[in-house]
A and B are shown apart, each in its own frame.
Chain A
């Protein structure tokens, strides 16, 4: 039911100077300390949370205390891997949480400690085609000059930070 031909997985890898234990903890418990700040809630985001356990929540908390779901932890094997359902889609022109898990893509992060004590962290975001017409909304969001360019400016600032 997934069209893997239409959407190649997105893959990134970084090597960090931490043990696998510490790299995993930073990625999960420390999620809010490094996530660049992208969010979908209607208020400013206070923190982003990724709970490192199967069935754990993946969500943002707004500055007013409100919470907005992003997805759910599908598998968790500390400190080796975590698989998370990405349930953010774009419907009717708005970025939003889609509770239907069959419409979710997923990302998997693996942590491989190297002989030198550093850890290679590999990320794969796959099954993007499951978003279906959500992909359509994201296309519109991306192509709208009043929408993403402003957000991408913030991306650049964070990266340069």
Chain B
């Protein structure tokens, strides 16, 4: 994990930036709407949005004379993909452990093994 190099990474723990990110996760907003909701000036909001945008986490588009900022789906989906993969591995391992437990109990009880288990994913 030593190769993190982007200047944007160091700023991810920033409380204000987190608040802005969470606000946008609820609903896309303009700079003015964010500044009205949080105790942050408009220039500061713009600066934070620039960092989030450079990190690939928010995107913006023109709406008349305003710019609307919103969460960038591809960026935030990464966490979902990570958890999905992790639980897929973990549940498979859990199932294997359960089958070992069942086999050892059946061996003790001298009962035939059914060996019939299924894994389902959604």
Contact = CB atoms under 8 A, between A and B. Distances in A.
Given A13-B122, A27-B94, A36-B89, A92 B13 contact: yes
B25 A3 contact: yes
Contacts of A30: 97
Contacts of A81: none
A141 B79 CA distance: 9
Sorting the interface of chain B by its residue count into under 10, 10 to 19, 20 to 34 or 35 or more gives: 35 or more
A153 to B, nearest CB: 12
A131 B117 contact: no
B77 to A, nearest CB: 8
B98 A6 contact: no
Contact of A18 (B78, B101, B116, B121): B101
Interface residues of A, number: 60
A74 interface: no
B31 interface: no
A144 B1 CA distance: 8
Given A6-B25, A12-B121, A33-B97, A136 B89 contact: no
B9 A132 contact: no
A129 B75 CA distance: 12
Nearest to B58: A136
Given A17-B99, A35-B90, A155-B85, A139 B75 contact: yes
Interface of B: 1-4, 6, 9-10, 12-14, 17-18, 21-22, 25-26, 52, 55-57, 71, 73, 75-99, 101-102, 114-122
27 contacts: A7-B76, A7-B77, A16-B102, A17-B117, A30-B97, A34-B98, A36-B90, A36-B93, A90-B12, A91-B13, A93-B9, A94-B1, A123-B87, A123-B91, A131-B79, A132-B25, A133-B17, A133-B21, A135-B57, A136-B75, A137-B9, A137-B12, A139-B57, A147-B3, A147-B4, A148-B82, A159-B89
